[in-house]
Amino acid sequence: MQGYWLAIVLTFLIAALIPGLLIFLSTILGPKRLTPEKALPFECGMDPSGPARERFPIKFYLVAVLFLVFDVEVVFFYPWAVLYKKLAIFGLLEMMVFTLFVGLALLYAWKEGVLEWR
């Protein structure tokens, strides 16, 4: 049993050591000539169009949180689908209640205007 733990510890140690060593060597051996062109922020190969510290509308964050909530909901459907026959009618009722709550959350977000892109 200890041999397994030793292999796991060695794997994590090597996985941390190699990137750390490469980052350290690149800072020591790499060139340090900073030019004004290198100091500019990089935006997808295009010239910067505004300040880098620009505020984003809250709309982006609301859409991201809604995506995460409904993405996690879909993850709960997989184990239920695998165990559908074993759970029988109880599992079906539980999933219907879960889907009802998620649907109510979607309806609430829709009524609040979170899904409208103005």
Q: Is the pLDDT of residue 52 over 70?
A: no
CATH 1.10.540.10 fits 2-112, yes or no: no
**Which segments of 1-118 are extended strands (E)?**
none
Q: Is the pLDDT of residue 43 over 70?
A: no
Q: Alpha-carbon distance 66 to 72, whole Å?
A: 10
Q: Alpha-carbon distance 3 to 28, whole Å?
A: 37
Higher model confidence: residue 29 or residue 56? 29
Predicted local confidence at residue 73, as pLDDT: 84
Phi, psi of 66 (to 5 degrees): -60, -40
Buried b (16+ CB within 10 A) or exposed e, 39-57: eeeeeeeeeeeeeeeeeee
- Mean pLDDT, to the nearest integer, of 112-117? 83
Write down the domain spans for the chain.
2-112
Higher model confidence: residue 73 or residue 3? 73
- Mean pLDDT, to the nearest integer, of 73-92? 89
Output the pTM of the full model.
0.51
Cα–Cα–Cα angle for 90, 93, 98, nearest 5°?
125
Q: Alpha-carbon distance 48 to 50, whole Å?
A: 6
